[in-house]
Structure 1
Amino acid sequence: MTRELKVLGACPLDCPDTCSWVVTVENGEAVGLRGNRDHPYTRGALCVKVNRYLEHSRAADRILHPMRRVGPKGSGRFERISWDEALDEIAERLTAIVGEFGGEAIWPYQGTGTLGYIQGESGQAGRRLWNALGASYHDLNICAKAGNVGLRHTNGTPAGMDPETFALSKLIILWGTNTLTSGHHLWKFIQDGRAAGAHVVAIDPVRTRTADQADEHLAIRPGTDAALALALMHVVLDEGAEDRDYLENHTKGWESFEREIRKYPPSVAAEITGIPEQDIRALGLRLAHTRPTGIRATMGLQRHRGGGTAMRTIACIPGVTGDWRHPGGGIAYSTSAHIPIQADVRPDLLDKPVRTLSMTRLAEGLADTADPVKCLWVYAANPMGSTSDQNRIREGLLREDLFTVVMEQFPTDTVDYADIVLPATMQIEHTDLHAGYGHMYLIWNEPAVAPPGECLSTTETFRRVARRLGLTDPGLHDSDLEIAAQLLSGGHPALEGITVERLRAEGWARLSVSDPFVPFTEGFPTPSGRLEFVPEGQGYVPPFSARADGPYKLAMITPASHTFLNTVFGNNPELMRRAGGPKILVSEKDAADRGLHDGQRVRVFNDNGEITAELQVSDRVAAGVVVTTKGNWPKFSPGGANANALVGERDADMGRGPTYHDNLVEVAPLREPS
């Protein structure tokens, strides 16, 4: 008799929606996957990418056994070895490295391949082991750091609106975010708001899928968002529509900030942003007289030189309009800081403070000869495909004196440079606890099937490494359920009634907060307890791409693909077919100026490197802007490089955030070999 089970779980990927899903299991095999219809945010739907997750988990190129390199670094040639052999070699090499160079010569390079609190980034999985070894601290600043820091300056936290309350907004501004590609579940709440009369505006350098569905699209020059925000507030002041009571009783620094706003009338902002003055004024008038206004601004917006300042300045808008008073008013960036879970990474295991290595400075870190990295341990990350300065990273990974361990599910470009490869489980095969950074729910992931081959979870791998190293502290050997119980034991009111037992039984739970949730009604978590405005002279930082006085004239941005999630699924044959290979969108004017035509194969280049792509002449981008999506694996791309070969290791103004959307390039015909 066939035995069918329904197992509740969660999507682990780097997306704000963190869907609750249901896996159908028959005779020990996962045969079906769908979104959980009972979950208020997921509402039964998954995305085009995750719909293929079960197929992906059974792919022919899945890594199933430990492997040791037998060819040159970068060749991707390995031999199968046992777990005992892998652990013995790892223990021997780590012991030698720590003995000769100290623990800080180990760089645990963790990424956002899974966001779980047990297995992934949210809980800094593995940090207990790294602390016991005295390894360098890994600053995972690749995604949201500049915006996080900017928002902390204004609001004291990057947390903001509950995205579900966009259903109550009357003006919805989607600022630098392509909702229908990167977090489409929010669209249902936007539609609810629109049905009740909301006006939807998309502010984006590209006319995206989302911009097509909005009531209005403002095509902004990349990196000039703060200037637009200041101009919109200028119109609010011209209308006398600022909330004087809110300014007096809930904010700090208004007089200085008002002087900053006055420097940016719509005419000035039009020159900076490329948006017609009348369009800026029209949106400013709508903003002045529409309560509540909800602003959705996500991570792509802050990946440029002035990214932190941009988020900080945009976050001032609801302070001027008083929108924080209302359900459906304010700004939504990430809900992560509303989640009152703090992973215990056991800092007491460190003998002394250690250095911090920046995720976005991998090439620089691997090139350091004064204080060298001798072991790079990569997990839930694919830096050869996802990190800037790709060519210099390749040089670093080719170092023969660098011991590289990669925990992976598939043979990525990074795997090709490993000395030891360890097979990793996928989400349907291990236990985890998740919280969306785009909603207010905790979601439990129960393993649905046994891992294939010899795949191990992140936690089990690190438990085995700790045992092989002879490390005996009990915290290094806690089970997944023990870790989960520790995560939920903080006693915060928002966790009241939420236990491991409840989550395993029900699959998910909303945080114990008001519904609708209106943050900051009791004040802001800033030093003053008030929203703190940007000081005069600090409201706008021009992007690097504003300096088009050299040989490169086109500002390149690299937004998310509709078919890949970062580089996850970049090897899925069907999704690769749908993506159709690397493309570069160029305006008709820029193509004509360069003698280029639609469908032509071109090289896109700057001083950092070059890529090959198919040219698409498009009215979706303005003159001076070119667009190519991230996510292609270099090994599957013509020329062996993706867009990150063009992105330099430069820092945003805050948090050392990356500048993926702030690079100048040129485009020229590709000279095919004769």
Structure 2
Amino acid sequence: MEFLRSVCPHDCPDTCGLLVGREGGRVVSVRGDPDHPFTRGAVCVKVAHYPERIYSPLRVTRPLRRTGKKGEGRFAPISWDEALDEIAQRYMEIAHKYGPEAILPYSYAGTMGLVHFHGGHAFFHRLGATRLKRTICSSAVEAGFAVTFGRIPTTDIESTVHSDLIIIWGSNTISTNMHAWPFFLEARRRGAIIAVIDPYRNRTARQADIHIQLRPGTDAALAMSIMSVLVEEGLIDKDFIKTHTVGFERLKPRLADYTPAKVKGLTAIPESAIREIARLYGKARAPYIRLGWGPGRQLRGGMAVRTIAVLPALIGATKKKGGGITRSTSAAFDLNLKPLTREDLGPQGVRSVNMVELGNALLRLDDPPVMAMHVYHSNPAVVAPQSAMVMKGLSREDLFTVVQEHLLTETALYADLVLPGASFLESTDLYRSYGHYYLQMANPVIEPVGEARPTLEIFKALAGRMGFSDDCFKMTEEAIIREMLKTDSPYLRGINYEELRTGRPVRLRVPENPLEGGFKTPSGKVEIYSQTLADQGLDPLPDGTPSLDVEGMGKYPLQLITPPRHQFLNSTFNEIEDLREQAGMPSLMIHPRDAEQRGIKSGMEVRVWNDRGECFLNADVTDRTGLGVTVIEGLYWPRFMKGNLGINQLTSQCLTDMGESCAFHCNLVEVGVARQLPADEVGL
């Protein structure tokens, strides 16, 4: 057996370096690359099972044409020429009859490889199709943080070994950012305290020294309350505030409304606990915040993140070795994507559809209606909110749906044509990270399984059939990567293709403290007061108003959050039986008092519902979650849940205050003991 270098392609900040075992032309093992400076030879429980994913019985190895009703999963194999000819013909007919905006691409982070993530962009721009706003995950967090700091690289997690206080805010690090945890543990070995702020006691909270269990949607109120203590007790860095921030004096009067005594009821955090974490933060030598995605997945998520981001500025944490804040490292990977995406090929004024609002787009959009959808690197039947509407839209017989996939997923079951996509082990790509500062390239480890093709190759073939002759449709993966490296970014200076093609991680030219160089806001400072927000008619100051599910207010008493499950990554890895067995039955965490009021005991099947939909789960009565708060860790494919009803039946298409993202953690529901489902409704 030989081992070849590769890179994990999944939507995770760690972007692991891998060693892939190959024998007889097949992948037989996947393990971590011990030479990677950040991931250091470890892989998560999910990626360790990758050979089972590559050779899954659900793997699509030939183009398929639907022969039954949508959703039945009955298909017949056809040739690539037949499939591509049919797609091109249907797209031309739809564009002629309705206009090209009747065609909707739908893709996201099924791969984080830059070539294939963007592999269809130029095609759909050239076609004049509706443009997709790819905002479902991180846009609120990005927008909120940028208001305060600008779009800049943030604190290097590797430097946190020098911190004496690590606050993990809204991130289950052990499950979703596992390679950061050893750095945090090293800091603890040197004397640091690890605190977790999260609505439920997840794996990371159970390993922390302190767990602040706040009510969902009150992150901004907690941050404001911490600020009030810092100011009240003189724990702020006045020199840093004077030199590097704008708007502090405007903020101070507002803090009077957020003292620990005033917010303890709102946040469900005792006054003493708020004061304790504030004092620890204000007195620490090098305090550090790992800011996760949880706070941003609320309707006021942008404001929550923007408010939390003010905290390091009040105490000058960004100038201290080991201190600061990590939101994302992605701003340092300023690669040249224009030759790949080619936005210039499209006509002006083309409409956009937000991917969060897919259900609305498929059922309500007109002038023109969506008559074709091309799905790649995504599984919207599982991941898109308000699933009932999405599934109704996917069931439309007049909707021509193409799905490029590795596996016969829930979305693929509704396709008219399924195209077999190559995996990351069967294609070439370049990978940036949003959790560390190493750029990596991966070459194919095996030949594509069956007739699978890489994303870029599929769209180049379609472009040829559509008569698109632009140069971008002739470029190879290597040529595109070479073009990406043509950038004037100081972070990428001197990095070349020859160095990357070895497969070894290449460190960006990022300083030890990326935040020492200043802030990329209009003022060049940390903006406590934001004129940008004021110009948009938004509150220019941090604000602690909680996020609430406005559609469920007055109807449903329990909050619901839907964080990731340790064994899955969004909807990926459901196909692996061993991981499903480790994950156990889909379950709902509910507080003992809430359960008692409803006659619910652990192990009972419960129905969870609101006006958007319902699903059925096993009850887990536990104090790991707070009173009035329920938790469903996901995402299970609906076929593995009762009634084929997934968790996103309960989530909303309402958009966040900034970034137009999805408020996956902002839901109101009711829970009750389930009725017995008829046998033909049971999806197990």
**Range class of TM-score, shorter chain:** over 0.9
Hey, what does 1:201 align to over in structure 2?
A: 195
Q: Which runs of 5+ in 2 are unaligned?
A: 530-538, 679-684
Equivalent residue, structure 2, for 1:509 = 506
Partner Cα distance (2:677, 2:127) in 1: 51
> Matched residues in 2 for 1:537 and 1:126: separation?
40
Q: How does 1:8-157 map to 2 (within 5 A)?
A: 8-120=5-117, 124-157=118-151
**Greater CA deviation, 539-548 or 610-619?**
539-548
Check whether the contact 1:298–1:334 (CA below 8 A) recurs between aligned residues: no
Does the 8 Å contact 1:148/1:158 carry over to 2? no
Counterpart secondary structure, 2:52: helix
Partners in 2 of 1:404 and 1:260 — Cα distance?
51
1:348, distance to aligned residue in structure 2 (A): 2.1
Match for residue 386 of structure 1?
383
Give me the whole-angstrom Cα distance separating, in 2, the residues matched to 1:51 and 1:257.
49
Among 410, 415, 428, the alignment partner of 1:418 is 415
Q: Percent identity?
A: 40
Q: Distance in 2 between matches of 1:189 and 1:612?
A: 39
Task: Answer with 261-270 or 660-669: which moved more.
Answer: 261-270
Match runs of 1:215-230 below 5 Å: 215-230=209-224
1:601 partnered with 2:619: no
Name the count of aligned residue pairs.
666
Query: Which residue of 624, 633, 638 maps to 2:637?
Result: 633
Does residue 1:648 correspond to 2:652, yes or no? yes
1:326 CA drift (Å): 1.5
Task: Give the aligned residue type for 2:469.
Answer: T
Over aligned residues, Cα RMSD in angstroms? 1.4
The amino acid across from 1:524 in the alignment is: F
- Counterpart CA distance in 1 for 2:649 and 2:159 is 40
Deviation at 1:24, TM superposition (A): 2.0
Alignment of 1:455-494 (within 5 A): 455-494=452-491
Amino acid at match of 1:187: W
Q: Alpha carbons of 1:149 and 1:483: their partners in 2 closer, same or farther (altered >3 Å)?
A: same
2:297 is the counterpart of 1:303: yes
In structure 2, what residue type is equivalent to 1:236?
L
Q: Distance in 2 between matches of 1:546 and 1:281?
A: 31
Aligned to 2:519: 524
Residue of structure 2 aligned with 1:182, choices 167, 176, 180: 176
Q: Distance in 1 between matches of 2:503 and 2:567?
A: 31
Distance 1:396 1:450 in 2: 36
Contact 1:250 1:531 in 2 (8 A): yes
Deviation string, structure 1 residues 146-197 (Cα, Å, up to 9, x no partner): 1111111101126421121221211100001100111110001101111111
Question: Aligned partners of 1:577 and 1:13: how far apart in 2?
Answer: 22
- Structure 2-normalised TM-score? 0.95
* Structure 1 equivalent of residue 3 of structure 2: 6
Q: After superposition, where does 1:609-628 map in structure 2 within 5 Å?
A: 609-628=613-632
Residue from 349, 356, 362 that aligns with 1:360: 356
* Corresponding position of 1:575: 579
Aligned equivalents of 2:383 and 2:551: distance in 1? 26
Whether contact under 8 Å (1:33, 1:51) holds in the other structure is yes
Instruction: State the Cα distance separating 1:444 from its structure 2 match.
Output: 1.2
Alpha-carbon distance, 1:540 to partner:
2.0
Give structure 1 regions of 4+ aligned residues with deviation exceeding 4 angstroms.
534-538, 545-549
Q: For the residues of structure 2 that align with 1:98 and 1:60, how far apart are their CA atoms?
A: 36
Deviation at 1:32, TM superposition (A): 2.4
Q: Measured at CA, do residues 536 and 128 of structure 1 come closer, stay the same or move farther in structure 2, by a change above 3 Å? A: closer
Q: Which whole-Å deviations, capped at 9, do the CAs of 1:226-255 have from their partners, x for residues lacking one? A: 000011111111121111111111111111
Counterpart of 2:399 (choices 388, 398, 402) is 402
1:257–1:536 CA contact under 8 A, matched in 2: no
Q: Give, in angstroms, the shift of residue 380 of structure 1.
A: 0.6
Instruction: Tell me the secondary structure at the aligned position of residue 616 of structure 1.
Output: strand
- Tell me whether 1:351 sits opposite 2:355 in the alignment: no
Contact 2:152 2:520 in 1 (8 A): no
Residues 153 and 515 in structure 2, CA contact (< 8 A), matched pair in contact too: no
Give 3-state SS (helix, strand or coil) of 1:118's partner: helix
Amino acid at match of 1:129: F
Q: Which 10-residue stretch deviates more, 480-489 or 517-526?
A: 517-526
Q: Contact between 1:388 and 1:649, CA under 8 Å: does it hold in 2? A: yes
1:274-294 deviation digits (Å, cap 9, x = unpaired): 000000011111111113111
Aligned to 2:245: 251
Describe the superposition over 1:17-57 as per-residue Cα deviations: whole angstroms up to 9, x where unpaired: 01010112223222222101000111000000110011211
Alignment partners' CA distance in 2, 1:383 and 1:342: 29
Q: What is the aligned partner in structure 2 of residue 277 from structure 1?
A: 271
Q: Deviations over 1:437-491 (max 9, x none)?
A: 1111111111100001100011111111111112111111210000111111113
Map of 1:592 onto structure 2: 596
Amino acid paired to 1:472? S
Cα shift at 1:356: 1.4
For 2:332 and 2:466, the matched residues in 1 are separated by 37
2:495 corresponds to: 498
Work out whether residues 110 and 377 of structure 2, in 8 Å CA contact, stay in contact via their aligned partners in 1.
yes
Partners of 1:159 and 1:388 in 2: CA distance: 30
- The SS at the match of 2:178 is coil
Following superposition, the deviation at residue 65 of structure 1 comes to 0.4
Give the corresponding residue for 1:262.
256
| Alpha-carbon separation, structure 2, partners of 1:158 and 1:396 | 39
**Does the 8 Å contact 1:158/1:333 carry over to 2?**
no
- Aligned 8 A contact 1:151 1:158 in 2: no
Give the SS at the match of 1:12.
coil
Q: CA deviation at 1:629?
A: 1.2
Following the alignment from structure 1 to structure 2, what is the Cα–Cα distance between the partners of residues 574 and 164? 33
Query: Counterpart amino acid of 1:144?
Result: S
- Does the Cα contact within 8 Å between 1:259 and 1:536 map onto a contact in 2? no
Residues 165-174 or 547-556, more deviating: 547-556
| Maintained 8 Å contact 1:260/1:536 | no
Partner-residue secondary structure (3-state), 2:174: coil
Distance, in Å, in 2 between the alignment partners of 1:585 and 1:41 is 34
Superposition TM-score, scaled by structure 1 size: 0.97
Partner of 1:369: 366
Aligned-partner residue type, residue 357 of structure 1: V
Could you tell me which residue of structure 2 aligns to residue 192 of structure 1?
A: 186
Task: Provide the rounded CA distance (Å) in 2 between the counterparts of 1:115 and 1:169.
Answer: 30
- Look up the SS of the partner of 1:483 in the other structure: helix
Paired AA for residue 516 in structure 2: T
Cα distance in 2 between the residues matched to 1:324 and 1:537:
21
Output the CA distance in 2 between the equivalents of 1:549 and 1:29.
54
Q: Is 1:582–1:632's contact at 8 Å kept on the other side of the alignment?
A: yes
Per-residue deviation at 1:522?
2.6
Partners in 1 of 2:292 and 2:150 — Cα distance? 17
Indicate conservation of the 8 Å contact 1:652/1:659, yes or no: yes
Gaps of 5+ in 1: none
Report the Cα distance in structure 1 between the residues aligned to 2:552 and 2:409, rounded to whole angstroms. 35
Distance of 2:84 and 2:447 partners within structure 1: 22
Cα distance between partner residues in 2 of 1:352 and 1:609:
38
Secondary structure (helix, strand or coil) at the match of 1:151 reads helix
Tell me, yes or no, if the aligned pair for 1:306 and 1:540 is still in contact at 8 Å. Answer: no
